[in-house]
Amino acid sequence: MNIHNLFDLSGKTAIVTGSTKGIGKAIAQAFAQAGAKVVISSRTQDKCLEVAAQINDAGGEALAIACNISHKDQLQGLVDATLEKWQHIDILVCNAAVNPYYGPLAEIPEDAYDKIMDTNIKSNLWLCNMVMPQMAERRQGSVIIISSIAGLKGNDRLGAYGLSKAADMQLARNLAVEWGPANIRANCIARDWCVLTLPANCGRMCRQKPAQLPPIPSGGWESLKISPVRPFFSQLLQVVSLPAKPWWLMAVRLLAVEVTHKFILESVIV
């Protein structure tokens, strides 16, 4: 099935930060499959060029622009270069984030705390403020901030990261209130664990089991009427391998993947 059977992003331009691997790369590839022009961005230009080439070779249209989101001048350069190339930005996905510290809040170094807050919150606000005014002029646009389940639940190893992701959720709410009258939508996605390239010192956290699981809907899985979109986001989220994998745990995680896929698809249509 072609992704165009679900929706069409032809003529739209999207910026996806942190899009040379993992979730960001999968989002960018899916946007390109739907017809959008996509800006591939991360800190390393060579990696940006590699992913952009993959999209272009597959028949899409992608532009590589390296950007360290911790630097405001580089964020402005990312926006300026995109507007120079394609004149407008319709979709912004704030996906890039950092987490240099895994451990209790009582022991976090000040520089690590500042880096997490500056990169994961302030940089997103900077970028949104650079992009959203031109969306407002055309009265159309969509902003998606990739948050985390760590922003919803306490964690004894991801406390500072969780604080930043909870703040991202509130940032999306505030952006929706401020920019909604200009016909701009702002959404935040709190993703669960996914299989990515993670620092070695967080391996112990990946083995932790969820404290609780959501109940099965009263009408069964079918009652959610989830669209069959997984073929187009097969790389977006992967189920984390846990030591114990009962069928019901895997079913819940697969359901979460489907719900996230559907939400992203519906959030970007502009």
Active site positions, annotated: 161
Cβ–Cβ under 8 Å, residues 213 and 246: no
**Separation CA 118–CA 96 (nearest Å):** 12
Q: Which amino acid is at 266?
A: E
3-state secondary structure of 213: coil
**Separation CA 264–CA 198 (nearest Å):** 23
Angle ∠(31,125,26) on CA atoms, nearest 5: 20
For 108, the token pair is: 């976090």
Tokens 């996905």, residue located: 93
Q: 141 in the Ramachandran plot: left (φ > 0), alpha (ψ -120 to 50) or beta?
A: left
Cβ–Cβ under 8 Å, residues 75 and 25: no
Q: 25 in the Ramachandran plot: left (φ > 0), alpha (ψ -120 to 50) or beta?
A: alpha
Sign of CA dihedral 153, 68, 174, 84: negative
Cβ–Cβ under 8 Å, residues 167 and 152: no
What does the buried/exposed string (b/e) look like for 159-168 if buried means 16 or more CB atoms within 10 Å of the residue's CB? bbbbbbbbbb
Cβ–Cβ under 8 Å, residues 219 and 226: no
